[in-house]
Structure formats: structure tokens, C-alpha cells
């Protein structure tokens, strides 16, 4: 851990960050949110600064620090902002900056899936529910917050627990100072080329290597052992030496893959015969991208998980429909009455409820406050 950050500095700054988060949480009476946010930002910013300074003077990781601070800062706003809608919007910020971090880690597919699924679907559902399940503001106080949004529950204990977990985790991660390998489209692609031979065969097809029947087109399921992923060549069997010579003359694109001047010389001398195996270079556009890798890993190595995920999604959909379709009939005026009478607790509730609210009475049967509804 000394290689990336001094432990004493780390834990001091973590303490500063914890104090800031504690101050920023919404609470009764004095509400020093701005000061708390500043202190928390100073704590986390100090850690990242220390990480950055230790790492050196030139900053290829500038964007990491930028997006990490945006993610943490808006994460902090999610838990400290008293208005739920703003919390959800800040969470979208967090999602966007983590997808930027995913891009930097070379996980393009996950980055965009995260934006589509999280920011586009899950968070929008959250926003809808926040709007559905918020009491309409009364005329006199449009800006008053609900009591449960304005005050947090046990902020000191929660912060202590959270930062104890953080201190534990950061201590355990001490071995993680190893550098990440250089990024690019080459991760695992060498090994994956032999697992996805169809890509190579299709690319050779596009370059016209199999035109004229000069070479035997290998079966895609058996082409794996023909490919040498390190040197990016594939061994192909010659079917017709005469057609191969014509291919050299007719198609410069294919000829560029088929090889060198020695090969041409060998062809002219007639030393290449049908049945010989020749090396063919793989075109430059045969690369296994991150999306190919993720798709292959998902389908080929985790088919059971994929099926189970489908079942879980179906069950969740059915469950949500069953849970949410339970109708509780209540008129608008009645609803307002109930909201107003909430101040006077149970005494006002029984009087405000009209005789025709049978559905509501059924829904209230389990709750202590509405016990009189069945009468």
C-alpha cells in the first residue's frame, strides 16, 4: 500500500471525509450541509491528490481522477439531498461517470449497457415512482419538505459504520497496487481468435481469397486449429494451383494476403501443388473486440446464468404486476382529507373516512392506525 499511498495519510483523510459526510446529512435544527460537503470533498479530494502525486508528475490518469470525483461527489449528493427527485438525478450523474470509467477500462459494451439500462430504464422508473408516491403539496406551504426527508435517522452511527467498512476494505485492498495492462482492442483477442474462427473465415471471404476455388474453404467448426493467433496466419489447403496463380494476377487484395514474392516465384516454378498447405495472413480487420469477448463469454461459458437471468426477470415482472395491481379505491378529496388528518393521528382518520370506502378499509385492515375501518 505504501507504493500508492501512505496508510496514515489515507486513514486521516478518510476520517476527514467521514466527518464531512456526517455534517452533510440532513438533520434537525442547524443544517451545515455546505460545510459538510466541502469537508467531505476535501477528504476524498485529498486522497485522490495523494494517489495522483505519488503516481508521478505526468497525468495520464487525469480523466480517472475527474470522473472518480464526479462519481463520488454526486453519490454524496444522492444521500444528502433532501429532495428525492434531485437524489435520483444525481444518481444518474454517478451512473454516467461510472460508465466513463468503464470506457477507460476498455469495457465499451458495459459502459453503454450501463447508460441504457441504469440511466435510461431503472432510474426513470425510480423517478416515476418518486412522483407517484409523493404527497401533493398543500397550498400554504409549497416548499416544505416531508419530515422524513428533512431529518436523517442516526447520522452519526450510519457514518461510523460506513467509514469503518471503508477503512476495512481499503486496508484489505493493499495488494491491488499493480498496474493495469495497457488498454486497447487486443485484450484476450489472441486466444479468442481461435475460439471464433468464423470471423477469420468471413473476413477472408470478403477479401476474395476463396474466389475461383483455388483454396479449400475450411469448415467454420473445424477451422480453430488452423489459426495461429500469435502470428495472425491461417493454414489453408490448396485445391487448384492453376486457379491460385490466376487469383494472384486477378485480385491484388487477395494476393496481398496470400503472401510474398517467394510464394509467387514458387507458383511460377510449379512447386505448389494441390493438397499443399500454405500460410495465409489474416486481414487487419480481424480483431476480437470487447463486445465479441463479452458476448462469447456470456453465451459460451455462462449459458445457465443467462437462462436463469431470463427466469428471474420474468418472475420479477409477474411479481411487480401482482403487487402493484392491488386497487385501493380512494377519491381525490378523501385522499386530501386523509393527508390533512395525518397530523392528528388516529382520532381524525375515522371521522374523515366516508361510508363508501370499502376497498380502502380492506387495504387498511392490517395497519394499526386504520383498525376502525372495518366497522
For residue 30, the minimal CB distance to another protein (Å) is 17
Between residues 216 and 363, which has the closer beta carbon with respect to another protein?
363
Q: Looking at the DSSP assignment, which residues form a beta bridge with residue 238?
A: 215
Q: In this structure, are strands 233-237 and 227-228 parallel, antiparallel, or unpaired?
A: antiparallel
Is residue 133 a contact residue for another protein (CB under 8 A)?
A: yes
Exactly one of 155, 218, 229, 373 binds another protein (CB under 8 A); which one?
155
Query: Rounded to whole angstroms, how far apart are CA atoms 69 and 49?
Result: 11
User: How far is residue 276 from each of residues 88, 236, 244, measured CA to CA in Å?
Assistant: 65, 8, 12
Query: Which listed residue (34, 35, 173, 265) binds another protein by CB under 8 A?
Result: 173
Smaller CB distance to another protein: residue 265 or 315?
315
Which listed residue (34, 35, 144, 154) binds another protein by CB under 8 A? Answer: 154
* 8 Å CB contact between 29 and 150: no
Stretch 275-314: interaction string toward another protein, x if CB under 8 A: ---------------x--xx-xxx--xx--x---x--xx-
Ranges within 332-351 binding another protein (CB under 8 A)? 335, 338-339, 342
Binding mask 76-95 for another protein (x = CB under 8 A): x-xx----x--xx--x--xx
**CA 222 vs CA 14, 298, 320, 329: distances in Å:** 56, 22, 47, 65
CA atoms within 13 A on the CB side of 59: 12
- Which residues from 212-271 bind another protein, rule CB under 8 A? none
Tell me whether residue 119 or residue 235 sits nearer to another protein (CB atom): 119
The two beta strands, 227-228 and 277-281, are unpaired
Q: Is 38 in the site for another protein (CB under 8 A)?
A: no
How far is it, in rounded angstroms, from Cα 321 to Cα 318?
Answer: 5
121 in contact with another protein (CB under 8 A): yes
Amino acid at each position: 500500500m505504501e507504493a500508492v499511498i501512505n496508510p496514515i495519510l489515507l486513514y486521516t483523510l478518510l476520517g476527514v471525509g467521514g466527518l464531512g459526510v456526517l455534517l452533510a446529512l440532513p438533520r434537525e435544527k442547524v443544517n451545515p450541509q455546505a460545510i459538510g460537503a466541502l469537508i467531505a470533498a476535501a477528504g476524498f479530494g485529498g486522497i485522490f491528490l495523494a494517489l495522483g502525486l505519488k503516481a508521478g508528475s505526468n497525468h495520464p490518469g487525469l480523466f480517472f481522477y475527474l470522473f472518480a470525483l464526479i462519481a463520488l461527489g454526486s453519490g454524496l449528493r444522492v444521500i444528502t439531498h433532501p429532495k428525492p427527485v434531485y437524489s435520483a438525478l444525481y444518481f444518474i450523474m454517478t451512473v454516467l461517470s461510472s460508465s466513463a470509467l468503464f470506457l477507460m477500462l476498455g469495457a465499451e459494451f458495459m459502459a453503454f449497457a450501463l447508460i441504457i439500462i441504469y440511466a435510461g430504464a431503472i432510474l426513470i422508473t425510480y423517478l416515476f415512482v418518486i412522483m407517484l408516491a409523493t404527497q401533493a403539496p398543500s397550498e400554504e406551504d409549497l416548499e416544505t419538505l416531508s419530515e422524513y426527508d428533512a431529518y436523517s435517522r442516526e447520522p452519526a452511527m450510519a457514518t461510523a459504520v460506513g467509514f469503518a467498512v471503508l477503512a476495512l476494505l481499503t486496508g484489505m485492498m493493499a495488494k491491488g497496487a499493480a498496474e493495469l495492462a495497457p488498454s486497447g482492442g487486443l485484450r484476450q483477442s489472441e486466444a479468442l481468435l481461435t475460439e471464433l474462427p468464423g470471423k477469420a473465415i468471413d473476413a477472408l471471404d470478403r477479401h476474395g481469397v476463396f474466389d475461383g476455388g483455388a483454396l479449400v474453404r475450411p469448415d467454420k467448426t473445424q477451422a480453430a486449429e488452423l489459426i495461429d493467433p500469435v502470428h495472425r496466419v491461417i493454414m489453408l489447403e490448396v485445391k487448384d494451383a492453376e486457379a491460385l496463380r490466376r487469383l494472384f494476377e486477378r485480385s491484388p487484395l487477395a494476393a496481398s494476403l496470400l503472401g510474398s514474392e517467394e510464394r509467387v516465384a514458387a507458383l511460377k516454378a510449379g512447386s505448389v501443388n494441390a493438397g499443399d498447405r500454405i500460410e495465409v495472413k489474416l486481414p487487419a480487420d480481424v480483431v476480437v473486440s470487447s463486445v465479441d469477448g463479452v458476448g462469447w463469454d456470456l453465451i459460451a461459458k455462462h449459458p445457465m446464468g443467462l437462462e436463469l437471468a431470463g427466469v428471474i426477470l420474468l418472475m420479477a415482472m409477474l411479481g411487480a404486476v401482482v403487487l402493484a395491481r392491488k386497487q385501493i379505491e380512494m377519491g381525490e378529496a378523501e385522499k386530501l382529507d386523509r393527508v390533512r388528518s395525518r397530523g392528528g393521528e388516529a382520532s381524525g382518520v375515522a371521522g374523515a373516512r366516508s361510508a363508501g370506502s370499502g376497498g380502502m378499509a380492506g387495504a387498511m385492515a392490517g395497519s394499526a392506525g386504520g383498525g376502525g375501518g372495518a366497522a
